[in-house]
Amino acid sequence: MTKEKGNYIVTTLEGESYSSEYVILATGSETKELPGIIIDEKDILSSTGILKMQELPKELAIIGGGVIGCEFASIFSAFGVQVTIIEFLPHLIATEEEEISKRLAMQFKKNGVKVITNTGVQEIIKKDKRLELKLNNNTTLTADKVLLSVGRKPVNNLTWKGININEEKGAIVINDFMQTSCDKIYAIGDVTGKMQLAHTASKQGLMAAQHIASRLYPEKYSAPQEPLNYNNIPRCIFTHPEIASVGYTQKDAEEIFGDVRVGKFPFAANGKAVAMGNINGFVKTIARKDTSELVGMHIMGPNAAELIAQGTIMIVNKNKAEDIDSFVFAHPTLSEAIMEAMEDLQSKSIHKI
């Protein structure tokens, strides 16, 4: 990319050039690799390569127990594949509620998924069409295929000529309205190093487009009024059962706000979940003790990714625990579990068991 006469010139690898006053960078991310472990998309796979397999392996080893690793563990174990997850940290999905992490590990165990934590992989050796993984706890295991899912890194391989774009750990630095250090170049999505979620990138794109439009046509469009609050963006994990969260975990809330209130309600006591035959999981709510403002909601169970939108709305609107008293939830619905967890913040949950 170069700059000529106030416009940026973007040239593709095929030699085609495009000129524009404003540019939005959305180059995404790619799978991280570990030293000595190279993805070949035949035996050692990325999250993209594993989707192209024509046959199911008998045994699959997954390096990394984060979101991607756990989602693929759920998928492949459901097809009868023997899955082993190797996670370097003490818990799966370490950024989520520890209680949810433990419950997920228990569910994996019931489904025949082996989980090894506090352990890394030193090397992978190919032997007789099989893969032998040497772990740093002095043990080995074998598998037909390996999925490497230790995170993703920004794809930031553009060549800049006379343009200074600030970066940090490979990610492009942006301000509250997606502008880079060059104010007419914007960046959105995984390349910014923010939350690596499709809906985050979508919202960033809308804000960048609105900000650009307000500069080009100020009489017609206004700039975004508030910066994007990443803490208010829901996080969804499509395991079995589903997991969804928004706001702070209990641990983080206690560190920031001091004492907090915690509400909880199990799907085992929810009529709709019982009727569905899907009672595994719960709703957990977290509120500040001093103001009773809701600051976190965590759901594990049926349709968690759909339900979390209610928590997002309440947190964005700064609803307090007692505000739930003004809401009427339809019966029988899964959303009643949210109502009960909110009522439990006030020790008023009627159906809690």
Instruction: Say what the pTM is.
Output: 0.93
Same-domain status, 247 and 272? yes
Q: Give the count of domains, the chain.
A: 3
pLDDT tier for residue 13 given thresholds of 50, 70 and 90: confident
Task: Give the Cα separation of 244 and 247 in Å (integer).
Answer: 11
Same-domain status, 208 and 258? no
Same-domain status, 54 and 101? yes
Same-domain status, 37 and 135? yes
Contact 255, 306 (CB under 8 A): no
Q: How far does Cα 247 stand from its chain's mean position?
A: 13
Collect all residues with Cβ–Cβ distance below 8 Å to 86 and sequence separation of at least 6.
61, 62, 63, 64, 65, 116, 119, 120, 121, 133, 135
Same-domain status, 57 and 143? yes
The per-residue pLDDT of the chain, averaged, comes to: 96
Q: Which of 199, 211, 331, 351 is catalytic?
A: 331
298 as an active site residue: the answer is no
Which is nearest to 302 in space by CA: 325, 326, 323, 283? Answer: 283
pLDDT average, residue stretch 112-131: 95
Residue 234: inside a domain:
no
pLDDT tier for residue 52 given thresholds of 50, 70 and 90: very high
Task: Give the Cα separation of 176 and 88 in Å (integer).
Answer: 33
Number of C-alpha atoms within 13 angstroms, CB side, residue 241? 25
Collect all residues with Cβ–Cβ distance below 8 Å to 315 and sequence separation of at least 6.
232, 246, 247, 294, 295, 296, 297
What is the span of the domain harbouring residue 9? 2-27+154-216
pLDDT of residue 150 exceeding 80: yes
Same-domain status, 41 and 23? no
pLDDT of residue 100: 97
For the chain, give the percent of residues with pLDDT over 70.
100
Residue 223: inside a domain:
no
Same-domain status, 162 and 251? no
* Segment 87-105, tens digit of pLDDT: 999 999 999 999 999 999 9
pLDDT of residue 265: 98
Of 166, 183, 216, which residue sits at a domain end?
Answer: 216
Contact 313, 332 (CB under 8 A): no
- The CA-atom distances, in angstroms, between 228 and each of 176, 183, 205, 233, 252 are 7, 18, 11, 9, 20
Residue 162: inside a domain:
yes
Of 105, 131, 150, which residue sits at a domain end?
Answer: 150
pLDDT average, residue stretch 124-141: 94
Task: Give the Cα separation of 63 and 43 in Å (integer).
Answer: 13
Contact 141, 133 (CB under 8 A): yes
pLDDT tier for residue 53 given thresholds of 50, 70 and 90: very high
Residue 134: inside a domain:
yes
Same-domain status, 66 and 93? yes
β-bridge pairing 44-45 and 29-31: unpaired
Same-domain status, 104 and 38? yes
Tell me the β-bridge partners of 246. Answer: 297
Residue 350: inside a domain:
no
pLDDT of residue 348: 93
Residue 228: inside a domain:
no
pLDDT of residue 184: 95
pLDDT of residue 276: 97
Cα Rg of the chain, angstroms: 23
Task: CATH number of the domain at 266, please.
Answer: 3.30.390.30
Q: Return the C-alpha torsion angle 4, 6, 7, 9, nearest 10.
A: 20
Quickly count: other Cβ atoms within 10 Å of residue 205's Cβ.
16
pLDDT of residue 128: 86
* Segment 172-228, tens digit of pLDDT: 999 999 999 999 999 999 999 999 999 999 999 999 999 999 999 999 999 999 999
Same-domain status, 123 and 159? no
* φ, ψ dihedrals at 284, nearest 5°: -125, 130
Q: Locate the DSSP E strands across 166-227.
A: 167-168, 171-172, 185-187
Task: CATH number of the domain at 102, please.
Answer: 3.50.50.60
Residue 17: inside a domain:
yes
Same-domain status, 144 and 171? no
pLDDT average, residue stretch 116-143: 95
Same-domain status, 182 and 166? yes
H or E segment and range at residue 74:
helix 67-78
pLDDT tier for residue 349 given thresholds of 50, 70 and 90: very high
* Segment 313-326, tens digit of pLDDT: 999 999 999 999 99
Residue 230: inside a domain:
no
pLDDT average, residue stretch 65-85: 98
